[in-house]
Amino acid sequence: MTVVEHLNFYARIRGVPDLTHNVNEVMRGVGLQPYANRMAAKLSGGNKRKLSLGIALIGNPSVLLLNEPSSSMDAASKRVMWRTLASVVPGRSLVLTTYSMEEADALANQAGIMASRMLALGTTDHLRRAS
């Protein structure tokens, strides 16, 4: 399926009204408009991540669960994704896993360090001072 077909599919499943408008807004928000008609399997790793983020955002969910959302993205794409997430997160809960403290700084109010169990919890500044 193409990028737009993927987003339309998930939008239909989630009962999104005005499919065309919502899918176009998600593609614009994650930077996939130039790739709308490209087969998802042919996207670069970073653009596949953008598509995954778009799928997560479709339907305006109240909770977002993201696993290393910016892996395989170049620095500019990461920052665009972080701005997109920062703009949609107010009023929602965002749970993400990341190895990047820069990403945690950009997106998290609270952060935890885990290795089989929770080792530390707090703001990223607090975690830096504690280490």
Predicted local confidence at residue 73, as pLDDT:
82
The answer to whether residue 39 scores a pLDDT higher than 80 is yes
Tell me which CATH code domain 3-97 carries: 3.40.50.300
Average pLDDT over residues 67-95: 85
**Strand, coil or helix: 84:** helix
Tens of pLDDT, residue by residue over 117-130, are: 999 999 988 888 88
Q: Which pLDDT band holds residue 25 (cuts at 50, 70, 90)?
A: very high
Residue closest to 104 by CA, chosen among 75, 127, 88: 127
Whole-prediction pTM? 0.82
Q: Which residue has the tokens 């987003």?
A: 7
Domain residue ranges of the chain, discontinuous segments joined by +: 3-97
Residue 40's pLDDT is 96
